[in-house]
Amino acid sequence: MMKPIRETIHHLMNRHDFKERYEAMKRDILNDPHVQSFLRGHDVTDAMLNRHLGKLYEFVQQSKHCERCSSLEQCPNLLKGYTPHLIWQGKNIDVQYERCARKVQEDERKKQQSLIRSLFIPRDMLQASFDKLETDDLGRIEAIELANTFASTYEVGKRIKGLYLYGSFGVGKTYLLAAMANELAQRHIASFLVYVPEFVRSLKSSLQTDAFQDTIEYAKQVPVLMLDDLGAELMSSWWRDEVLGPILQYRMLEHLPTCFTSNFDLKRLTHHLAHSQRGEEEQVKAARMIERIVYLATPIEMKGKNRRIEM
Ligand code: ADP
Ligand code: MG
């Protein structure tokens, strides 16, 4: 790599028109309005200019890229997403790089996205937001309002109840959770959105692994936990008593809000939680679980048309 560059420079230096080309380049640089305003008011000798022409050239090239910028993706600058500034270091000229507006915005978006962790939630669902949300159905307005209030006022450490959103298939329960997660992320609050039926299935196969322990630990401690479609999972006393119970217990004691969605109202959820696949009937344990849910979340019904596109 080094040899060709040295050869190129050598070639350039030996050209008889080198001096002219150099002067032309210098003129171009000094004609740049940003360079002019930077140099204005400073006592700049020709020797200084020659010494710093490389820096000025770099600035002009890089800032031209910025002026013609079409997207962060296509940024050709030395440091992608960084825009040059000329600065004086005593009597020396230097170029400093700062994040451009697009890069700042993108970094912020990524930071927010990293605050939303999810398991088994479709990617496009995670784009939900209160801005895009339609509020045509009267049966959902109360739920949407409560969800919006929660997401836009909750502060970490504040004692506040989450929501238990219930209603039939396709009324937009999961969508509303995702909108809450996004609103919370904009306010720099982390959330964990879990699709329960798939979660329970996957727990069985990852039992005893570190990943399993980490997930459970995160579900306990995340500022806002959102359990989507509770009641649609395959019920087992193991899931209820060894996993869900301890998570909810921990969150109750630590005053960490938790949101749920379900096709079932609390009465039907009690029934679901009381009947494991093995045919055991455990009313007391189910009732205890419902107590925790009610402690953590306010039940609210969502009504309206099925918004799922029939296939
Ligand atoms: P549920 O979880 O209650 O079964 P979903 O949240 O999956 O329902 O919503 C069903 C479909 O309707 C999804 O495709 C979702 O993107 C869309 N949807 C739900 N609520 C809204 C809304 N308020 N505005 C626009 N689209 C919505
Ligand atoms: Mg759903």
pLDDT tens by residue, 140-185: 999 999 999 999 999 998 999 999 999 999 999 999 999 999 999 9
Q: What distance in Å separates the CA atoms of residue 310 and residue 56, rounded to the nearest whole number?
A: 62
Residue 175 Cα: closest atom of ligand 1: 6
Cα of first residue to Cα of last residue in the chain, in angstroms, is: 58
| DSSP H or E run through 228 | strand 224-228
Q: Which ligand is nearest to the CA of 178?
A: 1
Q: Is 194 helix (H, G, I), strand (E, B) or coil?
A: strand
Supply the DSSP string of 101-168, one letter for each residue.
HHHHHHHHHHHHHHTEEEES--GGGGG--TTT-----HHHHHHHHHHHHHHHH--TT----EEEEE-S
Ligand 1 and 199: CB distance under 6 A: no
| DSSP H or E run through 237 | helix 237-237
Ligand 1 centroid from CA 178, angstroms: 10
Mean pLDDT to the nearest integer, 8-28 = 79
Residue among 239, 257, 237 nearest 164 (CA): 257
For residue 115 the two structure tokens come to 């605050």
Ligand 1 and 171: CB distance under 6 A: yes
Per-chain residues with Cβ under 5 A from ion ligand 2:
173-174
Ligand 1 probe mutation, 148, 307, 309, 310, most atoms within 8 A of CB: 307
What would the 3-class secondary structure string for 259-287 be?
A: EEEECCCHHHHHHHHHECCCCCECHHHHH
Q: Where are the alpha helices (DSSP H) in 169-233?
A: 173-186, 196-206, 210-221
Ligand 1 and 140: CB distance under 6 A: no
Ligand 1 centroid from CA 108, angstroms: 27
* Beta pairing class for 224-228 and 258-262: parallel
Ligand 2 centroid from CA 173, angstroms: 5
Ligand 1 and 122: CB distance under 6 A: no
Adjacent-strand bridge partners of 87:
94
Amino acid (1-letter code) at residue 139: G
CA triplet 185, 97, 35: central angle to 5 degrees?
Answer: 135
Ligand 1 centroid from CA 12, angstroms: 65
Q: How many residues does this entry show for the chain?
A: 311
How distant, in Å, are the alpha carbons of 67, 105, 122, 137, 190 from that of 81? 13, 10, 30, 43, 26
Q: What distance in Å separates the CA atoms of residue 82 and residue 36, rounded to the nearest whole number?
A: 22
Q: What distance in Å separates the CA atoms of residue 211 and residue 6, rounded to the nearest whole number?
A: 53
Residue among 64, 94, 96 nearest 82 (CA): 96
Q: What is the pLDDT of residues 80-114, one digit of tens each?
A: 999 999 999 988 999 999 999 999 999 999 999 99
Look at ligand 1, atom 5, and give the residue with the nearest C-alpha: 172
Report the pLDDT value the prediction gives residue 274, as an integer from 0 to 100.
Answer: 94
Ligand 1 centroid from CA 29, angstroms: 56
Adjacent-strand bridge partners of 92:
89
Ligand 2 centroid from CA 165, angstroms: 10
Report the pLDDT value the prediction gives residue 311, as an integer from 0 to 100.
Answer: 47
Ligand 1 and 307: CB distance under 6 A: yes
Give me the sign of the Cα torsion angle 104, 109, 112, 117. Answer: negative
Q: What is the pLDDT of residues 179-236, one digit of tens each?
A: 999 999 999 999 999 999 999 998 877 767 788 889 999 999 999 999 999 999 999 9
Q: What is the pLDDT of residues 45-70, one digit of tens each?
A: 999 999 999 999 999 999 999 999 99
